[in-house]
Amino acid sequence: MVTESPNAKYDHVYAIIRLDRDAVTGRIPDRNLVMVKKVVRSKEVAEQEVERLNRLNADKGCEYYYQITRLEREPKEQNEQATSPS
């Protein structure tokens, strides 16, 4: 089980991932075998979205999962330079 401990450099986010079952079992490999559908900030939202997408696309040969990952924060000096007037 993944522990969601705070990190000074990264925020935790959740990638909603689509796995195309037909591409897995097909004879010709498909580069779209695994796709990141979207990224959300809440585990609860990720769980709900995966459940919704799996229900909606049950007969389309794909499955959805979520995976915790990290979003790198911009360094403060870059952020300040981008917002300061020229």
pLDDT tens string 27-42: 555 566 889 999 999 9
Whether the predicted model's global pTM rises above the 0.75 cut: no
Per-residue pLDDT band at 46 (split at 50, 70, 90) = very high
For CA atoms 63, 71, 8, 45, the dihedral sign is negative
The answer to whether the CB of 9 falls within 8 A of the CB of 73 is yes
- Taking Cα atoms as reference points, which of 10, 9, 6 lies closest to residue 69? 10
Per-residue pLDDT band at 19 (split at 50, 70, 90) = very high
Q: In a 10 Å sphere around its CB, with 0-12 CB exposed, 13-18 middle and 19+ buried, how is residue 14 labelled? A: buried
pLDDT above 60 (res 71):
yes
